[in-house]
Amino acid sequence: MNRRRRLTPEFEHDFVRDPQLGYEVPNPSEFVRCVEHGSPTQLERWHCHDEYELQLIVGAHGQAFVGDYVGHFEPGHLVLTGPRLPHNWISTDLPPSGIDVRSLVVQFRGEPLLDAMRAIKELEDLQPLLDRARHGVEFFGISDVVRDRFHRIRQSHGLERFVEFAGLLCTLQRCPDYRLLSSAAMDGIGPGEARATINAIVEFVNERYADPLSIADAAAHVNMSEARFSRYFNKAAESSFGNFVNRIRIQKACELLMHTEQHVASICYAVGFNNIANFNRRFREVKQMTPSEFRATATGRLGGAARPDGYGAAPRH
């Protein structure tokens, strides 16, 4: 009997981070870890972990998989992923002997930074960067700077290492040319009451996306009239409520297409669409391909044949 492939991401634990695979020797006193590895490697797998990860491709071409994003990568490709966001980079143009260095990777834990933000106000500037990383961020125009910084981090220790790492975060935080990769529901917008209202709407849609949803339902949930809700939501989200609901449904469909073997028609109804034609049309608007094409392309994240045709390109910021 053929063994079925695992569709869900593998969680990466510390005990599998072998220096023979390119990891640094563990140092409990440092929360930044550098990894330098070639391809092919056991590290090319659909996985996630608790750390933030910055990946810089310095050799090879192939397909990148970040959450429900599928796209092409080449040398200079630079992506920051957040905790537990599944990802994989599959090389497609390797010589028979492989290559010694394909990726330069920096992993770091978020908890020490979040704790430090409470005491050091200047570190609060990093919060938007960390928030964006939950969806995967591709940066443009800073790969050479990041490559140099990676080597300086790797060659340093203690306070000097932290200073070099802080410089790396400043480079990422200041970069104006970036794009989010994986589907984003919608981040809370604005402080205080405004953020709480948006978060309440997002939570409501995430709980009810499989049901018929109207502006009247959402407006009642946050105690607004329909007219006021429509104006408020359009301004806050820069999207109509109907389009937002469709994006959430497509996001949920992508998860099912990637992590289950349900038929496309079943997924269509499971996420709240009432006919296949509308589902296919809305899906193509968001992902630039049909649900069946998305599933076939996303299969490459598991290490099978990949399609280096640029499917799934996300708009740049």
Q: Is 118 exposed, middle or buried (0-12, 13-18, 19+ CB in 10 A)?
A: exposed
User: Which pLDDT value is given to residue 254?
Assistant: 95
The answer on 25 and 173 residing in a single domain is yes
Interval 137-149: pLDDT, tens:
999 999 999 999 9
Is residue 22 assigned to a domain? yes
The answer on 116 and 41 residing in a single domain is yes
Is residue 309 assigned to a domain? no
Confidence of residue 168 (pLDDT cuts 50, 70, 90): very high
Q: Once rounded to an integer, what is the mean pLDDT over residues 170-187?
A: 85
Read off the pTM. Answer: 0.80
What residues contact 55, with CB distance under 8 A and at least 6 apart? 77, 78, 79, 80, 81, 87, 89, 103, 104, 105
Output the average pLDDT for the chain: 88
User: Which pLDDT value is given to residue 289?
Assistant: 95
Residue 166, helix vs strand vs coil: helix
Q: Once rounded to an integer, what is the mean pLDDT over residues 179-201?
A: 68
The answer on 255 and 229 residing in a single domain is yes
The answer on 139 and 201 residing in a single domain is no
What's the rounded Cα separation, in Å, for the pair 113 and 105?
19
The answer on 285 and 255 residing in a single domain is yes
Looking at 14-23, 83-92, 125-134, 215-224, which range is the least confident one? 14-23
- H or E element that contains 90: strand 87-91
Is residue 313 assigned to a domain? no
- What's the CATH number where 50 sits? 2.60.120.10
Is residue 83 assigned to a domain? yes
Q: Which residue, 152, 180, 208, sits at the end of a domain? A: 180
The answer on 101 and 19 residing in a single domain is yes
Is residue 270 assigned to a domain? yes
The answer on 116 and 25 residing in a single domain is yes
Is residue 186 assigned to a domain? no
The answer on 115 and 84 residing in a single domain is yes
Confidence of residue 2 (pLDDT cuts 50, 70, 90): very low
Which structural domain range is residue 174 located in? 10-180
User: Which pLDDT value is given to residue 173?
Assistant: 97
User: Which pLDDT value is given to residue 303?
Assistant: 81
Interval 266-317: pLDDT, tens:
999 999 999 999 999 999 999 999 999 999 999 999 885 444 344 445 656 6
Query: Has residue 88 got a pLDDT over 90?
Result: yes
Give me the percent of the chain exceeding a pLDDT of 90.
70
Query: Has residue 248 got a pLDDT over 80?
Result: yes
Tokens of 155: 């060659």
Is residue 311 assigned to a domain? no
Read out DSSP for 212-235? ---HHHHHHHTT--HHHHHHHHHH
User: Which pLDDT value is given to residue 202?
Assistant: 85
Q: Which residue, 148, 180, 212, sits at the end of a domain? A: 180
